[in-house]
Amino acid sequence: MLEPGMLLLADRNFYGWRDWCAATDTGADVLWRAGGAGGAIALPVVQDLPDGSYLTVVYASRTRPSERDRILALARDPATRADIDPHRARIARVVSYQVTDRADNDEPISLLTSILDPADAPAAVLAEAYHQRWDHETSNGQLKTHLRGPGRVLRSKSPAMVTQEIYGYLLTHYAISALICQAATEADIDPDQVKFHRTVRILRRRVQDPTAFSP
């Protein structure tokens, strides 16, 4: 459950007015990439901020253009910004930048966040936090693709055994990750440089007793 002090990260294709409100109403902050399969969303400039980001306004679904213009005028005046109905629109902050180290082309990225004050989280910090989410996505991919196998159905036939099997995969992933960290520390390299799938292959060849990994 979300609560104040948390930051919820999300990739593109996940933004939606209702989801945005549901998440931020918990008191947690959000950092979501704008755009995706549903197309770009309008992010008009309300106020430029010193770190290069800017305030914008996001609207409830099916808000008429005339109503959007009225709300935008309220948002651009700090004296009337508080008059915006939170059921119709909300102030957000946009962090835009380009990733220039891609092999094919530069990739423009726009992040939408509920953290409005750059002093609380500068644009560079938010951009770094967004890209760190890959550590979690990579872990999910390691478990589903390299450990369990793509498209493989769990063998268990009852809810209790399915839970047990899932925890078995999680514990195995934890054990392998611990070995990777140990090996990387001894070699004085970043653990990200040790390939997970190669580690799995080595372990499958060398581990004779599956119970050798203590939980």
Quote the pLDDT of residue 36. Answer: 58
From residue 170, how far is each of 111, 114, 184 by CA, in Å?
31, 32, 21
The residue type of 176 is: I
Do the beta carbons of residue 3 and residue 27 sit within 8 Å? yes
Quote the pLDDT of residue 215. Answer: 47
Quote the pLDDT of residue 148. Answer: 78
Query: Which residues are CB-contacts of 192 (< 8 A; sequence separation ≥ 6)?
Result: none
Q: Using 50 as the pLDDT threshold, list the residues of the chain that sit under it.
A: 215
Quote the pLDDT of residue 117. Answer: 97
Q: For 145-204, write each residue's pLDDT tens digit.
A: 888 776 677 888 899 998 998 898 899 889 899 999 999 999 999 888 888 889 888 888
